[in-house]
Structure 1
Amino acid sequence: MKRSQTVRLLLMGAAPVFLTACEPEEPVSLYKDVAECVAGAKLTQDQCQAAFDHAKSEHERVAPRYSSQSDCETDFGSGRCHTVNHGAGIQYIPLMAAYALGYYAGRPNYYQSQPLYYSHTTYGSGGYLNSGGQPIARTTGDARVTRSAMETPSRAVTMSRSGFGSSSSARGSWGGS
């Protein structure tokens, strides 16, 4: 292969990494429950409840799915997975551990919520992930994440063999709403 073709292929392969690194970060707030959200004093009780309810309703639709409980528990911990059956047979999904609220610049009263999952392997000592497996933050509270990390997936991701680990494979797609 010619040298110019090799360089072109290398640049094309690296483009997604460079584009992700340039993606601007936006502020988000992570809460374990409605009480923690209200205590944060950014939203009213009704707004916190509505955001939690939205994240909870999205949870079963977008949560990562596993064919075995042990695979799910490898990523999320013992007792942190439950079964669902939506016509595709029994699958296992992690429990919703928190929810994220993303605020959008120029729209002070507009926010988007999504479910989060706690993985004991994220950041080496544990942290919160979105349904696509992207690390969001180590703890609840305020954080900054890329806009793509707050995009709602179009459907759940089916994981096989330790879904968010190094030997995983995902089937499905996710993207903006």
Structure 2
Amino acid sequence: MKRSKYVQLSLAASVAMAISGCGVAEKTYPVQKKYNFQSVQQCADEKLPVDVCSDAYMAAMAEHRRLAPVYDNQADCDADFVANWCQQDSAGKFIPKLGGFELSADGEVTQSQVDAAKAQLPTSEANSGGSGFSGTSLLTGLLIGNMLSNNRNSYNSQPVYRYRDDRGSYSSSTLGQRIAKGSTFTKSNQARYGSSNYADSIRSASKPVSVASSTSRGGFGSKASARSGWGGSGKSFGGSSS
């Protein structure tokens, strides 16, 4: 009998301790945002960490060197991009210049992180979005900057190129986005001499690359050169900026 009571008391104590240790889970908010930057400085101006901006630039540069279409003459290259935008490489071929980088963030933030970020804002902006994750781009930038600093795998980067659209206006996009809209780059050497369809190769190979894995390869620049910048704007808590 004594043993039975002892076991019951022990179980009751265990349950009580388990319940006391299970507090209400903190509310979290999903973050999915896409930026289109022309320079590392512009990226930093959005309140993203300089190291994140530099690494995203270097990852985009690595993909640019790997995937950019190559042409035998400047006219063909200019036709696919922008007049006088292409440059000649050491082999005498022509390639489009890198026009920027697309940085995509994907993760989540907690309510305490939202509150901490709001504490850094002017009063007028801190109170504009209620208690959740909404409101100003400055708040969004602070939250995403903290998220990216703490999780290097929560973002990726792709090279961006300048081109003229069907209406003759200048725009910027990734190669994959161009192909999705119908571009084929058929005059490029990859398309003319390659063993497979270049558009299909870009479609499969130009998927966003983890910045953490790209910048670990080395051999394509330094953070110092990345921070110096080289060249509009970006945004989306659930969208994109261009």
* TM norm. shorter chain > 0.5: yes
Residue pair 2:60, 2:157 contacting (<8 A) in 1 also: yes
Aligned match of 2:40: 34
Number of residue pairs matched by the alignment: 122
Aligned match of 1:111: 155
Deviation of 1:115 after TM superposition, in Å, equals 0.7
- Cα distance in 1 for partners of 2:155, 2:167 equals 26
**Which SS does the other structure have where 2:66 is aligned?**
helix
Correspondent of 2:76 among 46, 71, 77: 71
- Structure possessing the higher radius of gyration over alpha carbons: 2
Deviation of 1:75 after TM superposition, in Å, equals 2.5
Aligned match of 2:15: none
Residue pair 1:73, 1:79 contacting (<8 A) in 2 also: yes
Correspondent of 2:59 among 54, 60, 63: 54
- Cα distance in 1 for partners of 2:162, 2:63 equals 16
Residue pair 1:65, 1:159 contacting (<8 A) in 2 also: no
Aligned amino acid, residue 198 of structure 2: R
Aligned match of 2:95: 93
Residue pair 2:80, 2:185 contacting (<8 A) in 1 also: no
**Which SS does the other structure have where 1:66 is aligned?**
coil
Higher helix share: 2
Deviation of 1:76 after TM superposition, in Å, equals 2.0
Deviation of 1:105 after TM superposition, in Å, equals 3.9
Point out 4+ residue stretches in structure 1 off by more than 6 angstroms. Answer: none
Higher strand share: 1
Residue pair 1:56, 1:96 contacting (<8 A) in 2 also: yes
Answering whether residue 187 of structure 2 is matched by residue 160 of structure 1, we say yes
Deviation of 1:29 after TM superposition, in Å, equals 0.2
Residue pair 1:65, 1:158 contacting (<8 A) in 2 also: no
Q: Share of identical aligned residues, percent?
A: 27
Relative distance call for 1:44 and 1:105 in structure 2 (3 A) is closer
TM-score normalised by the chain length of structure 2: 0.43
Aligned match of 1:126: 170
**Which SS does the other structure have where 2:102 is aligned?**
strand
- Cα distance in 2 for partners of 1:61, 1:117 equals 14
Deviation of 1:103 after TM superposition, in Å, equals 1.3
- Cα distance in 2 for partners of 1:47, 1:120 equals 30
**Which SS does the other structure have where 1:96 is aligned?**
coil
Deviation of 1:46 after TM superposition, in Å, equals 1.1
Relative distance call for 1:114 and 1:123 in structure 2 (3 A) is farther
Q: Deviations over 1:44-67 (max 9, x none)?
A: 111111111111122111112223
Deviation of 1:92 after TM superposition, in Å, equals 1.8
